[in-house]
A = this chain, B = another copy of it.
Amino acid sequence: MASAFSGTREIPHDREFIREGDLPQASTLLLSGFAARSKELSNGKRQFLTIHVKGDFVDLHSFLLKKMDHGVVALTRCRIAWVPHEKLKEITERFPNLTRQLWLSTLIDAAIHREWLVSFGRRSSLANVGHLLCELYIRLSVVGETDGFQFRLPITQGELADARGMSVVHLNRAIKGLRELGLISWLGEKVEIKDWQGLVELADFDASYLRLERVNEDLAEQMKPSSI
């Protein structure tokens, strides 16, 4: 067979295309657009757990975890492809190398979770927001979605607030603070980091947790050709 992926699909903006409690039979790769893993509390509050960009597996973990402990929502229109779990199982039986890369990809997700935990628990609100911008900048640049220090971030402040565990108002003021420090500019969907070094210091950002070796791209590459 030519590819591990079994199909492709468009997801409209704002659709929660994977739901908490689901038992997916396939794992989903984000081909384009932005998505977020999301968890809701019984009081209606929402917390995002990761923001996904082009090239990310959004629920590779469901292959072994079976039941989704969170949903995945399309923050923009998204294009996705998917790999049946059966195929993943076959990969783990026959291709140890690729298996380790898939495993690694989920480990990087966990490393991102850990940085977020530090942001939520111990960073100031400016540093918290700044850290996310650093993370997104690096991840987007790896997949060729940046232009110098600029990138498109088609996400509302309400969504960003859910990604940072704060209220919209407070998030807005944090952005204002970063602007006033001359660290960033933000017009519509266009974000520009005006002072990378300054932002990195403010946010205590160290990119090494992201493993810039283009893991996900390599992954998609390996699963595409007739190697499987």
Residues of A at the B interface (CB closer than 8 Å) are: 37, 39, 41-43, 45-47, 49, 61, 64-65, 67, 69-70, 92-93, 96, 99-100, 103-104, 106-111, 113-118, 120-123, 164-166, 204, 208-209, 211
Judging by beta carbons under 8 Å apart, are A117 and B49 in contact? yes
**A103 vs B109: C-alpha distance in the bound complex, in angstroms?**
13
List 13 extra interface pairs beyond A41-B204, A47-B118, A47-B121, CB under 8 A.
A43-B204, A49-B118, A65-B111, A65-B211, A67-B208, A69-B115, A70-B114, A92-B99, A99-B103, A110-B113, A116-B117, A120-B165, A121-B164
**A49 vs B104: C-alpha distance in the bound complex, in angstroms?**
19
Chain A residues touching B, majority SS = helix
Contact of A92 among B49, B61, B100, B107 (CB under 8 A): B100
Judging by beta carbons under 8 Å apart, are B120 and A117 in contact? yes
Judging by beta carbons under 8 Å apart, are A122 and B61 in contact? no
Q: Given contacts A61-B107, A122-B165, are A47 and B117 in contact (CB under 8 A)?
A: yes
**A37 vs B121: C-alpha distance in the bound complex, in angstroms?**
14
Ranked 3 nearest A-B pairs via Cβ: A121-B165, A113-B113, A120-B120
**A48 vs B65: C-alpha distance in the bound complex, in angstroms?**
24
Judging by beta carbons under 8 Å apart, are B107 and A204 in contact? no
Neighbouring B residues of A69 by C-beta, 8 Å: 111, 114-115, 208-209
